[in-house]
Structure 1
Amino acid sequence: MERHLTGRHALVTGAGRGIGAAIARRLAAEGARLTLLGRTRAPLDALAEEIGASVLQADVTDDAAFARVFAAAGPVDVLVNNAGAAATAPFVRTDRALWDSMLAVNLTSVFTGCKLALPGMVERGWGRIVTVASTAGLRGYAYCAAYAAAKHGVIGLTRTLALETARAGVTVNAVCPGFADTGMTAESLDRIQAKTGRTRDEAVAELTKSNPQGRLVRPEEVADAVAWLCGPAAASITGQAIAVAGGEVM
């Protein structure tokens, strides 16, 4: 198999589990040299040993810490903004603290990562930025106003940066998973069960009812989309928000 990212340095935020870990494995299989960034060291170290990657520990909502570890990583050719969090509440019970925390991790950290990565990419004439957004950035969902607003913001930022870098050899895209088979979704299922008394299967059915395929998205499916966007076959794909959601968004 041709390894399209041999010689490229990829940095993945939120790389310790779920979609981030799947993306790191997939990019490593494409030959990229990986730097894994996250808040919790143990899962990062375990994955790094598996795929032969470097590890940096930082909270992406801490601008100074993010900038410090980014500089330590060296020039980045591929940036995958995957770090994120989801908290739910009816809008009338969404306070400023919840709003600020969702925008900080899901939107402002993407702004910071792009600010750190783009100058070097433009200078070198090649770069790939892919942000893991959500179908919540393409449509509305009840009870997640802050999260949906942040993900809509990510897609607006993606489209703007794509236009600004279109002649610089850089592409900027987003992938938008539906509900995926990850730890974050497992936490959502736990909340549904606790609040409603439903069984696990009933809770899964509730989350997947908007997916025409009737299932959770596999992290590896998202990783495949990211790898394609980083490869030569997608050189003319920029400014896109690609749903990986079984036909939920068309």
Structure 2
Amino acid sequence: MEQFHTGRHALITGGGTGIGLAIAQVLAAQGAQVTITGRRGDVLEAAAAATPGLHPLVMDVAVEDSVVKGCAEAIAARGPVTICVANAGIAEGKSMAKMDMAFWRNMMAINLDGAYLTARETLRGMLAEQWGRMIFVASIAGLKGLKGAPAYTASKHGMIGLMRGLSEEYMGSGITFNALCPGYVDTDIVTRNTLSIATRAGIDNEKAREMMTKTNRHKRLVTAEEVAAAANFICAPASGSFNGQTVEIAGGQM
């Protein structure tokens, strides 16, 4: 298989599990050296041990100092980041009536502030190289309202707005900015949400999981590998005209 990214440095937040790990594995297979970040060092170490080309880095995207220092450490070790995937995030539902400021701020700090900080700290290298691929892992909730999750919906709409603004600001620079908008993906987040929905609705786990599955148009959970395939296309050398786009991965038209 042709290796498109030999010599490139990719950084993926939330790269130890799920979508982030699947993307990291695809990029590593294409020859990239991939920094995977997250808050759990043991998870990152296990992922890196299983896949050559992955390098673990403990970093909390909700804390500015952690992102600044973490990105600087990764760049010092492996050179400028020219592929960045802002994937770290949380998905928690809570109605407006039950939501407090602490819940709102935590959602924004991780999902939106984290994406902004990660993009800010990696963009310099892309500008210097005059080439880059910036991917924001959003959600179908970034394109439409998600009942029972106004904070999550707002955070993902904000992420897409950030992507669109950056794509216009750096048009013609050799850097592209795009967002992946998957439906429900078969990851640990869905497992946790299954338990949460079951508890809140007073139903069993199977019915709670079925509720999420039915939201996807093809009536099954999306796989992390399917999302990674879309990311791989966006990062390919011939994708330079693919910029400012939202890519729906939900089994059909939303």
With normalisation by structure 2, the TM-score equals 0.95
Which residue in 1 is equivalent to 2:16?
Answer: 16
Corresponding residue SS for 1:59: coil
Q: CA, structure 1 residues 248+182, in 2 after alignment: closer, same or farther (shift >3 Å)?
A: farther
Aligned-residue CA RMSD in angstroms? 1.1
Q: What does 1:114-129 align with in structure 2 at a 5 Å threshold?
A: 114-129=119-134
More divergent stretch after superposition (45-54 vs 235-244): 45-54
CA distance in 1, matches of 2:156, 2:69: 26
Mind listing any 5+ residue stretches in structure 2 that lack a counterpart? none
Post-superposition CA distance 1:193-232 (Å, at most 9, x none): 2233433332222112222200011000001111110112
The amino acid that maps onto 1:200 is N
Q: 1:78 aligns with which of 70, 77, 83?
A: 83
CA distance in 1, matches of 2:253, 2:213: 10
Q: What does 1:96-175 align with in structure 2 at a 5 Å threshold?
A: 96-175=101-180
- Between the aligned residues of both structures, percent identity stands at 42
The amino acid that maps onto 2:242 is I
CA distance in 1, matches of 2:74, 2:147: 39
With normalisation by structure 1, the TM-score equals 0.96
CA distance in 2, matches of 1:200, 1:30: 38
Which residue in 2 is equivalent to 1:232?
Answer: 237
CA contact (8 A) 1:122 1:165 kept: no
CA distance in 2, matches of 1:196, 1:98: 20
CA distance in 1, matches of 2:119, 2:107: 18
User: How many Å apart are 1:234 and its aligned residue?
Assistant: 1.4
Which residue in 2 is equivalent to 1:60?
Answer: 61
More divergent stretch after superposition (228-237 vs 147-156): 228-237
The amino acid that maps onto 2:13 is T
Corresponding residue SS for 1:35: strand
The amino acid that maps onto 2:128 is E
User: How many Å apart are 1:235 and its aligned residue?
Assistant: 1.3
Post-superposition CA distance 1:77-126 (Å, at most 9, x none): 10000000012111122111111110110001111111111122112101
Deviation beyond 4 Å, 4+ runs, structure 1: none
User: How many Å apart are 1:248 and its aligned residue?
Assistant: 4.7
CA distance in 1, matches of 2:67, 2:187: 25
Which residue in 1 is equivalent to 2:27?
Answer: 27
The amino acid that maps onto 2:129 is R
Q: 2:222 aligns with which of 217, 225, 229?
A: 217
CA contact (8 A) 2:12 2:35 kept: yes
